[in-house]
Amino acid sequence: MKKLNDLYQGIGTDIVVRGIKNNIADVSNGDLFVFNIKQIPDYDYFDEAIKKGACAVVTNRSLRDSRIPVITVPDASREYPYLCQKFYDFPDRKMQMIGITGSNGKTSTSFILQSILGSGMAGPTGPNGRSCAAFSDTAKQATHPYHIYSTLDEFSKFGCKYGIIEGNDKALTKEELQSIVFDISVFTNLVNEYLDNNKFINYYNAIISILNKTKDTGYCVLNSDDLAFNAIKGLCKGKIVTYGRSADSTLQIVDYKINDTKTVIKFKYGDEEFEITSSLLGVFNVYNLAASILAALTLGYKIDSIVSKVGNITVPGRMNFLNTDSTYYVLVDYAHTINTISKVMEFVNTLDIGNKYIVFSSALDLDVDQLNCIGRLLCEQASHVIFSYDDNNQDVINNVSYILGTIKGSYNNYSFVEDRKDAINKAIEMAKDKDIVLILGKGDNSYQSLGFNDTEVAYQAIALKKIKESNSW
Scored b (16 or more CB within 10 A) or e, 409-418 reads eeeeebeebe
- Banded pLDDT at 193 (limits 50, 70, 90): low
Side by side, which strands form the sheet with 182-187?
A: 129-130, 122-126, 162-167, 96-101, 182-187, 214-223, 239-244, 251-258, 263-269, 272-278
Q: What is the pLDDT of residues 221-254, one digit of tens each?
A: 999 999 889 988 888 888 999 999 999 999 999 9
Question: Would residue 86 count as lying in a domain?
Answer: no
Q: What is the pLDDT of residue 355?
A: 94
Is 30 in the same domain as 133?
Answer: no
Of the ranges 114-118, 361-365, 442-446, which is most confident?
Answer: 114-118
Least Cα distance to 382 among 440, 445, 444, 457 occurs for 440
Least Cα distance to 449 among 364, 340, 334, 331 occurs for 364
Helix (H) or strand (E) holding 35: none
How many other CB atoms sit within 10 Å of the CB of residue 79? 18
Q: Range with the lowest mean pLDDT among 197-206, 284-293, 418-427?
A: 197-206
Q: What is the pLDDT of residue 198?
A: 63
Domain containing residue 148: CATH number:
3.40.1190.10
Is 247 in the same domain as 269?
Answer: yes
Domain boundary among the residues 29, 52, 76 is at 76
Question: Would residue 117 count as lying in a domain?
Answer: yes
Q: What is the pLDDT of residue 211?
A: 86
Domain count, the chain: 3
Question: Would residue 83 count as lying in a domain?
Answer: no
Is 107 in the same domain as 47?
Answer: no
Domain that holds residue 279: 91-310
Q: What is the pLDDT of residue 166?
A: 83
Least Cα distance to 417 among 436, 441, 400 occurs for 400
CA distance 20 to 15: 13
Question: Would residue 458 count as lying in a domain?
Answer: yes
Is 58 in the same domain as 121?
Answer: no
Question: Would residue 84 count as lying in a domain?
Answer: no
Q: What is the pLDDT of residues 67-88, one digit of tens each?
A: 899 999 999 988 999 999 999 9
Least Cα distance to 333 among 115, 137, 103, 104 occurs for 104
Is 204 in the same domain as 339?
Answer: no
Cβ pair 341, 378 in contact under 8 A: yes
Domain boundary among the residues 44, 76, 108 is at 76
Question: Would residue 82 count as lying in a domain?
Answer: no
Is 349 in the same domain as 437?
Answer: yes
Q: Are strands 70-72 and 436-440 parallel, antiparallel or unpaired?
A: unpaired
Strand-pair partners of 246: none
